[in-house]
Amino acid sequence: MGPFAFATSLFLFLIEICQQVDGIASKCDIYKGKWVFDASYPLYNSSNCPFIHQEFNCQNNGRPDRLYQNFRWQPTSCNLPRFNGKDFLRKFRGKRIMFVGDSLGLNQWQSLTCLLHTATPQDPYISQRVAAISTFSFPTYGVSIMFLRNAFLVDIVNEKDRRVLKLNSIGNGRIWKGYDVLIFDTWHWWLLTGRKQPWDYVQDNNITRKDMNRTVAYKKALRTWARWVNLNVDPAKTKVFFQGVSPDHVDSRDWADPTAKTYRGETWPILSTEYPGGSPSPQDVLKRVLRSVSKKVHLLDITGLSQLRKDGHPSAFGYGGHRGNDCTHWCLPGVPDTWNELLFATLIQT
């Protein structure tokens, strides 16, 4: 194919993609809708994704049911384009995308790498980890998808044999520069206490404490992150997303089922459009902080739709096997694949 023919083909392809998502942002809220059964899902099989992490590979870990893989997110007033890995790679040829956050960011990063690899299984890929950065790249397209584990976004610094969580410092932000797309997340690690807590003290400006209200600390850290975005991001070069708070399902009263004690054994989503338990307070904090950012930041508002998926967690079929009880992460294939469909639709729209 000559240069002119290739350019024409690419132009027509981009028009087609734009037509698919035309009006999504203006005509409807893609985050409002419900889950519908669709036998054409899932978008890939976990057996075709050889690098999938054990903690997300529920089928390989012995989960006996499969229906949780067959649900598609249907917005109320429009249709969400089906994820197409080849289209994604063509559109983002030569681009670098980085996820920054905790294991929920890892969950979404892992989903995206599986979606792309299974769409182009004949194309070579390179998977490597250097220090805290995991990179999955497609040399044919020049596309790199990175994940940087940074559960708090702000810094944890060793000072005099003690680990200090600094709510006003983002030294690691230098690593985030130069990417075409950034997707951030944080929340779940703010709740850890005891031996699981990765810091000994928390510092707010010049005041160092043994502990403080975790939601307040989370809010202060988000404000520090917001200042970093305002100072360092050029919206013409970098698209910034923040993954909404990914819900867990601990108490069945939250989804109005007094007969079930926990989500364990759940095999069916909530098929209504609203979650009985309401929005979690950290999500409300996040929304308020994002409204204060002067640069354009897209909220990947996955909280409400994910709340409806009490069936989507690994439960006893995650990393810990039957000894574990994971109500935080998500099976793959599963809910994070929808997060990436929403991400791709928004990227194309913007």
Query: Catalytic residues, which ones?
Result: 103, 326, 329
Q: Which of 118, 179, 126 is nearest to 148 (CA)?
A: 179
Tell me the residue type at 42.
P
Q: Which of 36, 107, 115 is nearest to 313 (CA)?
A: 107
